[in-house]
Amino acid sequence: MSDDKPIIETRGLQKHYDLGAETVRALRGVDLRIHRNEYVAIMGPSGSGKSTFMNLIGCLDTPTAGEYVLNGQPVAGMRDDDLARIRNREIGFVFQTFNLLPRSTALENVELPLVYAGTGKAERRRRAADALKSVELGDRMDHRPSQLSGGQRQRVAIARALVTNPSIILADEPTGNLDSRTSEEIMALFARLHEEGQTIIMVTHEPDIAAHAERVVTLRDGVISSDVRQAPAPVAAREVRDPVGAEA
Amino acid sequence: MNFWEGVRLALNTIRTNKLRAFFTVLGTVVGVTFLIAVITLIEGMNAYVEKEFKGAIYGVNTVVVRRFPAVNMEADGEQWREFVRRPRLTIDDAEWLSERMETPGLVSLSAETDGAVQGPRGQQLENVQITGANAEYFEARELEMQAGRTFSRQESDKGVPVVVIGSGIAEALWDNRNPVGQELRIRGLPFRVVGVLKERGSLMGFSMDNVVVAPLRAGGMNGWVNRQRNAVGSLTYKVPEAELIRPAMDELETLMRVRRGLKPSEGNNFSVETAEDSLAFWDKIRTILLLALPMLVGISLIVGAIVIMNIMLVSVAERTREIGVRKSLGARRKDILMQFLIESSALSAAGAFLGIGAGVLLAKGVQAATPMPATVAPWSIALAIFLGVGVGLAAGVYPAWRASRLDPIVALRSE
């Protein structure tokens, strides 16, 4: 399942926050390799550094020290605009609060990363529509987020993450704002994407959500405290093909 | 993200918040309204002065000899005392000149006053412009006839009591009947109507059809309309083409100096001018107005820019999370910078368009309510759009820069 070259490799990754008098060492040296098509859950109590780690993995921030190679590209020393390009091409974000643009339709939301990639309008439309169809929302393309249920919104966000064919899907508490039934629906979607070959990294503090991953990395006090491979838990509910009635 | 993508996004944002957008650009709207309205009225006056005023008051291709210039914006008391000491022009002067002028042309004489005339049944008509003239007057002023004829050279020379009346007089005294051959009394003396002038409309709110023109030498006219027997108010030399205006002016000046026996050291005790000369004052007024205008408009636009900047700062703050999302999806600093710059320019340009519409309407309203004419100058519209976009750009720079510098992590966390 994993080839020789990891898609993510961090070596001695550190992040310090200078808060005037004291320096907070949020990450104290993290070494992690994630290979293509792995499904990894990153866990840890609050203050463990998992959010900081996610920001670094997501190229939203740069490390104080250490190295980070994403899909063969050393990212650690990059400037803002280069990081933006990497985020655009390599990473598909899925957020706890969905983070859809409220005044745009589902289709326009999914198109957005392609707008910044400079993709032409017709192709953008087509690829965004395909992505929405792949998350079973082909019939909701012209709906605004406010007209969609929580689960549907998160699936729009997943379509947006998928539309650029990124190297990794980076999900931050993707079920944090969803009820358990809808959470299962999203987990089922992730399981399917994983089966289809996607690399998924999911930050969560819920053990039963982490149970869906095939590998669980736990952070504590800014370092990896455990890195366990496991058999993914079976998906409890079937992925909902017809979303009618699947309200959050 | 390309430019048109940004424009589309900006228009969407404006459309979703129309009322706020309107209040945001109120400063631009007011500034541009003012700009367009004032320029439209100034240009209207200008077109009017160029086209109507010159022809109506002075005639086309004419040089006018007077005792002193028709328009004296800068003459002080000393100057006026010198003016009134000057001898009046006379009919003899005119005849002497017309015998000697080598530049081809016509000598037209006139003197004017306001007074009353009486109709055939004794109807009194007040405030009529009464003109004493020679026969050439009609040709020099390019006056056309609606009925009858002008008076002849013989009638003019002999002072036959005939009169040509304006269409307004014909209507007031004779209604729909033909006034030709009827009698009109000026200062109680009977004049026979020989012709009616074509309707000329009004100039700056004054009717040009409320006139009567009789031979200057006619009894009752001479010594009254010209205030002094055989005097002339103005002598108009009409040349057949514009190139002859300058030679005619030079020749008239030389001959008049000879006629008056002026020594080379003495200044002219008469004035020779063209319509352009005497309307030079208008060019001055126009220049002053056009120069003062930017200050007035500038103040509203600066206020407008400050309002736009503040609203854009609020907008950036409100949309911090959106900016975070866009950055996480790959928007670069310049994408965000451009998005907000285009938004503020589009907003302000939309305000400029509103202002252009309001300004034109305002000017047309003034035109309808007053004698002031209005002409929309294309350059003023181009200027307004340019200023609108400029104000938006200037006002958007700082908010857009702030937006582009937002840290995506902080922005994503904001609520």
Please say whether the beta carbons of B188 and B222 come within 8 A: no
Give B304 to chain A, closest Cα distance, Å.
27
Residue B195 φ then ψ, to 5°: -160, 160
User: Pairing between strand A168-172 and A200-203?
Assistant: parallel
Residue B191 φ then ψ, to 5°: -125, 140
Give B326 to chain A, closest Cα distance, Å.
8
Interface of A with B in 62-91 (CB under 8 A): 80-81, 84-85, 87-89
ipTM of this model?
0.90
Q: Do B329 and A95 touch (CB under 8 A)?
A: no
Residue A248 pLDDT? 40
Rounded Cα distance between A50 and A223, Å, is 9
Nearest to B75 by CA among B88, B84, B66, B87: B84
Handedness of CA B286, B287, B288, B290 (dihedral sign): positive
Answer whether residue B1 shows pLDDT above 70: no
Rounded Cα distance between A224 and B258, Å, is 115
Of A81, A112, A164, the CB nearest to B332: A81
Nearest to B197 by CA among B211, B214, B183: B211
Check if A109 contacts B (Cβ < 8 Å): no
Please say whether the beta carbons of A209 and A175 come within 8 A: yes
Please say whether the beta carbons of B232 and B111 come within 8 A: yes
Q: Where are the domains of chain B?
A: 3-52+286-413, 108-239
Q: Which residue of B has its CA nearest to A121?
A: B5
Rounded Cα distance between B88 and B234, Å, is 9
Check if B334 contacts A (Cβ < 8 Å): yes
Residue A246 pLDDT? 43
Nearest to B326 by CA among B247, B406, B258: B406
> What average pLDDT does chain B have?
88
Please say whether the beta carbons of B414 and B320 come within 8 A: yes
Give B341 to chain A, closest Cα distance, Å.
17
Q: What is the DSSP letter of A93?
A: E
Rounded Cα distance between A205 and A96, Å, is 12
Q: Does domain A8-99+149-229 have CATH number 2.30.30.140?
A: no
- Name the token pair of B60: 């086309």
Q: What's the pLDDT tens digit per position in B254-294?
A: 999 999 999 999 999 999 988 777 677 777 778 888 888 87
Percent of chain A as helix, strand, coil, to the nearest 5: 35, 25, 40
Check if A182 contacts B (Cβ < 8 Å): no
Q: What's the pLDDT tens digit per position in B201-249?
A: 877 667 889 999 999 999 888 988 888 888 999 999 999 888 898 999 9
Check if B324 contacts A (Cβ < 8 Å): yes
Angle between helix axes B378-404 and B26-48 (nearest 10 degrees) is: 160
CB pairs < 8 Å spanning A and B:
60
Give B18 to chain A, closest Cα distance, Å.
14
Q: What is the DSSP letter of A147?
A: G
Q: What's the pLDDT tens digit per position in B307-363?
A: 999 999 999 999 999 999 999 999 999 999 999 999 999 999 999 999 999 999 988
Rounded Cα distance between B377 and A223, Å, is 72
The better pLDDT of the pair A31, B175 is held by A31
- For A237: left if phi > 0, alpha if psi spans -120 to 50, otherwise beta; the answer is beta
- For B261: left if phi > 0, alpha if psi spans -120 to 50, otherwise beta; the answer is left
Q: Do A93 and B332 touch (CB under 8 A)?
A: no
Check if B7 contacts A (Cβ < 8 Å): no
Q: Do A95 and B330 touch (CB under 8 A)?
A: no
Q: What is the DSSP letter of B352?
A: H
Tell me the CA distances in angstroms from A245 to A143, A152, A182, B231, one per residue in order: 16, 11, 11, 104
Rounded Cα distance between A109 and B326, Å, is 10
Tell me the CA distances in angstroms from A231 to A201, A211, A212, A235, one per residue in order: 16, 8, 8, 12
Q: Do B332 and A80 touch (CB under 8 A)?
A: yes
Residue B291 pLDDT? 83
Answer whether residue B370 shows pLDDT above 50: yes
Nearest to B32 by CA among B393, B395, B380: B380
Rounded Cα distance between B209 and B125, Å, is 13
Q: Where are the domains of chain A?
A: 8-99+149-229
Check if A101 contacts B (Cβ < 8 Å): yes
Answer whether residue B192 shows pLDDT above 90: yes
- Name the token pair of A160: 């947006």
Q: Which of A62, A103, A119, A172 to mutate to test the interface with B (most CBs of B within 10 A)?
A: A103
Please say whether the beta carbons of B352 and B384 come within 8 A: yes
Give A83 to chain B, closest Cα distance, Å.
8
Contact residues for B329 (Cβ-Cβ < 8 A; gap 6+): A87, A88, A93, A112, A113, A116, A160
Of A85, A93, A101, the CB nearest to B322: A101
Nearest to A105 by CA among A136, A135, A130, A129: A129
Handedness of CA A201, A207, A211, A214 (dihedral sign): positive
Check if A118 contacts B (Cβ < 8 Å): yes
- Partners of residue A164 in chain B, C-beta under 8 Å: 330
pTM of the model: 0.71
- Share of residues in chain B with pLDDT > 90 (%): 53
Tell me the CA distances in angstroms from A189 to A135, A234, B132, B230, one per residue in order: 8, 12, 102, 110
- Name the token pair of B403: 């937006």
Angle between helix axes B320-328 and B280-318 (nearest 10 degrees) is: 70
User: Pairing between strand A73-74 and A91-94?
Assistant: unpaired
Residue A2 pLDDT? 44
- Tell me the pLDDT of chain A (248 aa) as tens digits: 445 789 999 999 999 998 888 888 999 999 999 999 999 999 998 889 998 999 999 999 999 999 999 999 999 889 999 999 999 999 999 999 999 999 899 999 999 999 999 999 999 999 999 999 999 999 999 999 999 999 999 999 999 999 999 999 999 999 999 999 999 999 999 999 999 999 999 999 999 999 999 999 999 999 999 999 988 887 755 555 544 444 44
Give A3 to chain B, closest Cα distance, Å.
28
